[in-house]
Amino acid sequence: MQLRHFIDTQDFTKQELLDIIELTRLIKAADKQGCTPKLLEGASLAMIFEEPSTRTRVSFEVAMTELGGHALYLKPGEIHLGVRESMHDTAKVLSRMCDAIFCRALKHQTVTELARYAEVPVINGLTDYNHPTQVVCDVLTMMEHMPPGKRLEDLHVTFIGDATNVLSSLMLITTRLGMHFTHAAPKKYQPPAEWIAWAEANCRESGGTLTITEDPIEAVREADFIYTDLWWWVGQEDQIPERRAAFMPRYQVNLELFQKAPSHCKFMHCLPASRGVEATDDVMDHPRSIIFDQSENRLHTEKGLLVYLLHHRLPRPSEELKAYHKGKIEAFLHSLSV
Ligand code: CP
């Protein structure tokens, strides 16, 4: 059975990413009619978190439950992870007990190390480099809010703000899918050359385009979707004054900037948000804000991803085989004198 990890959308072709999204759409349609099939019955997902999470933690846990499986929340410091036990041994042990391993890690290398040794799929739930499960959900959400007459390859997606892990994944998935991606930020907060080179290579293959600019007004001129993320994260508290000065007010997504975009443009944010910082309440709560559709789609996308990675790997014993083993165990229990 083929072992695929989900660590970077760059490891997947355009068709494979579209297949995951189509599978997600089918499962979501079933869910909306109360018919989610138990496609992962009996499966277990170990969920390692080195950082807090609301959406990712809840969506993966609910997804596993609704698909007939089970998720274990392993909170920061709860298991040995490279301390008191090697990553190799942790990966081997979890692989013997669970059908997949999820990891939200401080360092990307933690996830790649786990994947190196794991014998079950490893899913990246956010690292200092990227956030691939978030952006599959984002593309699904964009498809659901596609302007009339446009195809996926016609969409213009503009990200305003810091070159975060979400920016990296969004830039890479949109360019891989042949979309038009623009990032507006001060020079110091634009993506590293390596990420740009990967996105440009995607564009050459897919026909997509990549624009990096310091001008947020020019960046939103053709935008079908404006996306932003936090300007600072845990561990960057000492940089808050410098970052605030660099982004505010020019790169804040406020009503004035939102109104410079086409009148059909939708607003997106992966959340959590610092309301009044990277985006104002009147944009966050605007009729064309789709931030909570995005959040809900995390749940549907996790189901699609989990089924894509795990369904073909689960054992499918016949009813006869199940009855045979049950009978043997029950006969043994009857033979006991207790
Ligand atoms: N967007 C996202 O990953 O949210 P959480 O940090 O709450 O999981």
The residue that leads in pLDDT, 64 or 75, is: 64
Phi, psi of 102 (to 5 degrees): -105, 145
| 270 close to ligand 1 (CB < 6 Angstrom) | yes
The pLDDT mean for the chain works out to: 97
Is residue 158 domain-shared with residue 285, that is, in the same domain?
A: yes
Is residue 118 domain-shared with residue 203, that is, in the same domain?
A: no
* Average pLDDT value for residue range 296-310: 98
In this prediction, residue 47 carries a pLDDT of 98
Query: What is the domain-level CATH number for residue 23?
Result: 3.40.50.1370
Is the pLDDT assigned to residue 289 strictly greater than 80? Answer: yes
Query: What confidence tens digit (pLDDT) does each residue in 150-172 have?
Result: 999 999 999 999 999 999 999 99
Q: Is residue 172 part of a domain?
A: yes
In this prediction, residue 84 carries a pLDDT of 84
* Average pLDDT value for residue range 170-185: 98
Percent of the chain at pLDDT > 90 equals 94
Q: Is residue 68 part of a domain?
A: yes
| 134 close to ligand 1 (CB < 6 Angstrom) | yes
Is residue 270 domain-shared with residue 307, that is, in the same domain?
A: no
Is residue 175 domain-shared with residue 87, that is, in the same domain?
A: no
Is residue 307 domain-shared with residue 278, that is, in the same domain?
A: no
| 294 close to ligand 1 (CB < 6 Angstrom) | no
Is residue 268 domain-shared with residue 161, that is, in the same domain?
A: yes
In this prediction, residue 177 carries a pLDDT of 98
Query: What confidence tens digit (pLDDT) does each residue in 241-269 have?
Result: 999 999 999 999 999 999 999 999 999 99
Query: What confidence tens digit (pLDDT) does each residue in 115-131 have?
Result: 999 999 999 999 999 99
Q: Is residue 97 part of a domain?
A: yes
Q: Is residue 326 part of a domain?
A: no
Query: For residue 168, what are the contacts with CB-CB under 8 A and spacing of at least 6?
Result: 129, 130, 131, 191, 195
Query: For residue 74, what are the contacts with CB-CB under 8 A and spacing of at least 6?
Result: 46, 47, 48, 49
Is residue 275 domain-shared with residue 302, that is, in the same domain?
A: no
Q: If pLDDT is split at 50, 70 and 90, which confidence band does 234 have?
A: confident
In this prediction, residue 2 carries a pLDDT of 86
Q: Is 131 labeled as catalytic in the residue annotation?
A: yes
Is residue 150 domain-shared with residue 114, that is, in the same domain?
A: no
Cα pseudo-dihedral 294, 299, 304, 307, rounded to 10: 170
Q: Is 239 labeled as catalytic in the residue annotation?
A: no
Phi, psi of 308 (to 5 degrees): -60, -40
| 53 close to ligand 1 (CB < 6 Angstrom) | yes
Is residue 159 domain-shared with residue 277, that is, in the same domain?
A: yes
Q: Is 11 labeled as catalytic in the residue annotation?
A: no
Q: Is 286 labeled as catalytic in the residue annotation?
A: no
Query: 59 CA to middle of ligand 1, Å?
Result: 10
In this prediction, residue 338 carries a pLDDT of 66
Q: If pLDDT is split at 50, 70 and 90, which confidence band does 71 have?
A: very high
Is the pLDDT assigned to residue 70 strictly greater than 70? Answer: yes
Residue nearest atom 5 of ligand 1, based on CA coordinates: 53
In this prediction, residue 241 carries a pLDDT of 97
Is residue 33 domain-shared with residue 121, that is, in the same domain?
A: yes
Q: Is 316 labeled as catalytic in the residue annotation?
A: no
In this prediction, residue 77 carries a pLDDT of 81
Is residue 88 domain-shared with residue 124, that is, in the same domain?
A: yes
In this prediction, residue 86 carries a pLDDT of 92
Give me the catalytic one of 57, 180, 243, 298.
298
Q: Is residue 126 part of a domain?
A: yes
In this prediction, residue 189 carries a pLDDT of 98
Percent of the chain at pLDDT > 70 equals 99
Q: Is residue 331 part of a domain?
A: no
Q: Which domain holds residue 241?
A: 146-289
Is residue 154 domain-shared with residue 68, that is, in the same domain?
A: no
- The CA–CA distances, whole Å, from 194 to 129, 132, 197, 241, 303 equal 12, 17, 5, 28, 31
In this prediction, residue 337 carries a pLDDT of 72
- Within 10 angstroms of residue 274's Cβ, the number of other Cβ atoms is 11
* Average pLDDT value for residue range 46-51: 96
Is the pLDDT assigned to residue 82 strictly greater than 80? Answer: no
Q: In the chain, how many domains are there?
A: 2
Q: Is residue 260 part of a domain?
A: yes
Q: Is residue 321 part of a domain?
A: no
